[in-house]
Amino acid sequence: MPLINVSYASIQSDEKKAELIAELTRAYGRVMGAKESSVWVILNEVPRTDWGVGGQTLDGLDAAADTHRKDARIEVRQARKEDLRTLAAIEAECFPAAEAASESDLRARFEIFGEHFWVLEADGEIVAFIDGLVTDSPVVFDDLYQNPASHTRHGAYQTVFGINTRPVYRGRGYASALIEQLIDQAREQGRSGVILTCKKELIGFYEKQGFELDGVSESTHGGEIWHDMTLHLN
């Protein structure tokens, strides 16, 4: 009788735990050719005070990260041409190869809609960025990614093509600050809304920023299932 034992350092809802158990069971059954009814799963929610990494508790590491976060000098600014190499490196760190935009993709986008590229610097180093063209389409579709020239300067919707925070800088509100910046710009420019597609696990993140879920997208980008979301501005 196979037993999958998972430990994680957070408290999750009963709904999320049930989903995780179902998914792990399905994955084991599929990969191992086993009967799902024979699979056991045990979830252990470990307090962060009881989990050590390199001799420090996660609780202690959180406190150290909080101190650094408070001390970091943060600046959100428009991207410059000379930032593009760094942005491509961040993109490669944040997305699987099938989905990541290359430096030349980013360069082609920047030439056309550089005005809608924003970076966030922490202590003078770029650690996160956001970009997206403007369109009259109320949903993002795959051709838009292939064809930056479809940018419609006076269009109704600002898109979010990409938003990335380097892994070690996550959870500090950096992506949220960049989305707010893009939303402010869209509002100032009189757009009807901001649109994006995202994977299921990020729906909640974007809802916190005020986006509404429209449903499953027609996009097949990177062979994944995407969801359409809109933030309405008027």
Ligand X SMILES: CC(C)(COP(=O)(O)OP(=O)(O)OC[C@H]1O[C@@H](n2cnc3c(N)ncnc32)[C@H](O)[C@@H]1OP(=O)(O)O)[C@@H](O)C(=O)NCCC(=O)NCCS
Q: Minimum distance from CB of 2 to ligand X (Å)?
A: 27
CB nearer ligand X, residue 30 or residue 48: 48
Segment interacting with ligand X (CB under 6 A) among 26-34, 45-53, 145-153, 201-209: 201-209
Burial of residue 160 (CB within 10 Å: 0-12, 13-18, 19+) is buried
Angle at 100 between CA 99 and CA 105, to 5 degrees: 115
Helices (H) and strands (E) in the chain, counts: 7, 13
Residue from 86, 137, 150, 176 binding ligand X (CB under 6 A):
176
Binding flag, residue 141, ligand X (CB under 6 A): no
Question: Looking at 142, 205, 214, 221, which residue binds ligand X (CB under 6 A)?
Answer: 205
Shortest spacing between CB 225 and ligand X, in angstroms: 12
Contacts to ligand X from residues 73-132, by CB under 6 A: 94-95, 128
How many whole angstroms from its chain centre is CA 48?
24
Residue 120: closest CA among 65, 68, 163, 60: 163
Among 201, 215, 223, 234, binds ligand X (CB under 6 A): 201
Beta partners for 110? Answer: none
The answer to whether residues 4 and 39 touch, using CB atoms and an 8 Å cutoff, is: yes
The reply on whether position 198 binds ligand X by CB under 6 A is yes
Among residues 183 and 198, whose Cβ is nearest to ligand X?
A: 198
Shortest distance in whole angstroms from residue 197 CB to ligand X: 7
The Cα–Cα gap between 52 and 42 comes to 21
Q: Which amino acid appears at position 65 of this protein?
A: A
Q: Per CB under 6 A, which of residues 154..173 are in contact with ligand X?
A: 163-165, 170-173
Q: At what angle do helices 84-94 and 103-113 cross, to 10 degrees?
A: 120
Nearer CB in complex with ligand X: 6/42: 6
Tell me, letter by letter, the H, E, C secondary structure of 165-228.
ECHHHCCCCHHHHHHHHHHHHHHHCCCCEEEEEECHHHHHHHHHCCCEEEEECCCCHHHCCCEE
Q: Which listed residue (39, 174, 183, 228) binds ligand X by CB under 6 A?
A: 174
When the beta carbons of 29 and 176 are compared against ligand X, the nearer one is 176
One-letter amino acid of 179: I
How many chain residues interact with ligand X (CB under 6 A)?
Answer: 17
Measured from the CB of residue 114, what is the shortest distance to ligand X in angstroms? Answer: 20
Nearer to ligand X, 188 or 201 (CB): 201
Write out the residues near ligand X by the rule CB under 6 A: 94-95, 128, 163-165, 170-176, 198, 201-202, 205
